[in-house]
Structure 1
Amino acid sequence: MTKPIIYFLCIGNSCRSQMAEGFAKHYLGDSYEIMSAGIESRGIHPIAIEVMKEKGIDISNQSSNLVSVHTAGKASYVITLCKDAKERCPAILSRSYHYHWGFDDPAAKAGTNDEILEEFRRVRDEIEETIILFSKGEKGEVMNLNNFDFSVYKKKQNFGEIIRILRVENGFSASQLAEQLRVTEDFIVNTELNRTHPSKFFIHALANVLQKNYDDLLDELYDVEHKEILKLLK
């Protein structure tokens, strides 16, 4: 019998969603298939691995993944972990139940190594407590979101090539553009190969770095009306 899927999402699938996946496998793995992903794939943060080991949970073999529309569509629960919209994590609306649990991003903590480690522990413990409550049916307001049409979100066939040309015209290497946008070089390379679905916030940042008008860049990259793109990516 196929297990129902719980799908944890955040920006980079690096810290919060990785820890949530680890805890959910521990507490709910007998009943659910647990998966996680991000709008970008930044790799698992080494401190997240470290603090989860303190709980006896090894997440080092988990993978950092980009959001899959197919998986989101199959999931019984889609759970977003960004604190608010400013943290760039749109809810993936699907034929599922959606929860939003707001956690601070421990990777954004400034301070000494000890202070950063304590922040990871604090967020880790909040995530564990929330998943325990969820396992008891006590956490979150459920929303049935079943009217989302991903088919409207259509990139132009040469989407990645357009970005590559704009990058080269502006004198950036892939690594230099990645540094400007605070993403990995792999993310830039995969975007130029049409292997990613960048968020609205990535496109905004790209327009700023390339000194292009945001609406003009949308016109170049997508085959749908601006209002449809914004509806899907906000």
Structure 2
Amino acid sequence: MVSTIVGNKFGYLSTQELKNELLELVEGRDAENLKTKVNFYQEELQPYFEELMQRNPFPVVEDQLPVVLGVWTPVWSTIPFHDILPGRIREQSYQIFHDDGLYANIARFAPGQQSSFWKNVTSKLPTYDFMVMQKYAVCDNQWCIQNIGIFQAFRNREIPLTIDDADDWFTNVVNSKIKQALQTGGLPKALKLENLDKTTIKKFEKTYLATPVLEHLYVDHELRLVKTQREPSQRPSYTIAARRR
């Protein structure tokens, strides 16, 4: 009965109205803990994902490549990696697709910025900017993703990480560290991360060594609904990403 009611409701909504409702549902909820977000997806969001999947204007993966180029921000996600460190600044989180087959997840972390007390205490400490870089291609009408590096930078927290700053960092790392390594097949097999505890480094290493699976359940020029799995045994994660540029 519930699925019939939901189906009837969606039948009266345009695709734009569906997208607007979905974005309204998740507004302000990305900071919730992972368990809460997983339950929220299962109980509230899944019907929207399934309906929009049926309306995907670009179901062929090869046709999706030019559509995703540019800069996106994950407005809501159940990917555990997104909050591997405390203090992620969501409006300074970017997913950047370049037309050379390279893609970067970039985020700024400023521990203590959620609390007024700790914000004053940590105001002079640097922020952590992290980038997970990947290669992307199409294989048998599926996205083929390969992790090729995880990079970090320590910066002044009083200067925001803008889209231009993030894109420039991405480009500079490609030119200085990745381009030649891709040509020679000499990508690093181990990470070099500083000022992090061993447990966190192990989490980054596990992410780096995985071969992730990515599927666009829905994609147009303004919105992406993405299903990802770090490995087959892992629970799927879901992300809603909105275009920034």
Q: TM-score, length-normalised on structure 1?
A: 0.24
The structure whose RCO (Cα within 8 Å, separation 6+) is larger is 2
- Give the structure with the larger helix fraction: 1
- Give the structure with the larger strand fraction: 2
Q: TM-score, length-normalised on structure 2?
A: 0.23
